[in-house]
Amino acid sequence: MRVLTSLIAWTVWFFAQAVGVSAVGADVKPPPGAAPLKLVYASTDAGALETSRWVFSDPTAWRVLKENDTSSLELTNQSNYKPLVRSPFNIALLSNLAVGSFTLEAELLQTSREYGHRDLCVFFGFKSPTEFYYLHLATAADNNAHNIFLVNKKPRAPVATETTKGVEWGQNIWHKVRIERRIEDGSVAVFFDDMKKPIMKARDQTFTKGLVGFGSFDDTGRFRNIRLYADKTDKARISFSASP
């Protein structure tokens, strides 16, 4: 019976991936390597990418772009936002959906020029504009780039225990990203294109629940096919203040 149940769950997940259909609230298994969690958000659902579903550090820097029956959330320019502590400027958070343990999948397209800190970010455990984690995916790694960072009422600090030398964004290339976060042991695993081998790992339990989202430190990009799996969700609201 367990085998049959597992087979059915995997069949549902595979079919959803193949045709772009989701079943938010259903018991759907994420890809191999992730714990059984429920699908709580899918950007392919009707209205899921509308800007009303997101909270931004600067709403004027974002738009929903529709191309060939596919929609993406696009960061078009630098946000008019000055963080209280050194951290990314461009932030879009999935509104009112705080999660603890989760698996987040998305496709990312970097649209800026090539340089060492060319980046896109994924935010999680977001409690306030001065309390959160973010994944910084960049062309080249150093103390301030291509790492998992903790912002805890002071400038961001790297917390990754394993990382790589950077990623190759290319031009007009969509990249698959997956983040697996488990609050029981504080683990974080990041996958980029290769969904079998993580490019980053971390272990930190400073924040165990918060909002998730996307953005960049100071570049531009697009985000699509977002799927968030979690064991449970809570309501949470965040507000940003524009720079003076």
> Residue 3 falls within a domain, yes or no?
no
For tokens 């078009």, the residue is: 76
> Residue 227 falls within a domain, yes or no?
yes
Can you tell me the mean pLDDT for 61-68?
93
Encode pLDDT of 158-217 as tens digits. Answer: 999 999 999 999 999 999 999 999 999 999 999 999 999 999 999 999 999 999 999 999
Residue 41 has pLDDT above 70, yes or no: yes
Give the chain's domain count: 1
CA–CA separation, 108 and 95 (whole Å): 20
> Residue 148 falls within a domain, yes or no?
yes
Cα-Cα-Cα-Cα torsion 68, 214, 126, 212, nearest 10 degrees, comes to 30
Q: What is the CATH number of the domain that holds 63?
A: 2.60.120.560
The domain containing residue 118 runs over which residues? Answer: 40-234
> Residue 55 falls within a domain, yes or no?
yes
The strand pairing partners of 51, in sequence order, are none
> Residue 13 falls within a domain, yes or no?
no
pLDDT value at position 69?
A: 83
CA–CA separation, 10 and 4 (whole Å): 10
Encode pLDDT of 71-118 as tens digits. Answer: 999 999 999 999 999 999 999 999 999 999 999 999 999 999 999 999
Residue 226 has pLDDT above 80, yes or no: yes
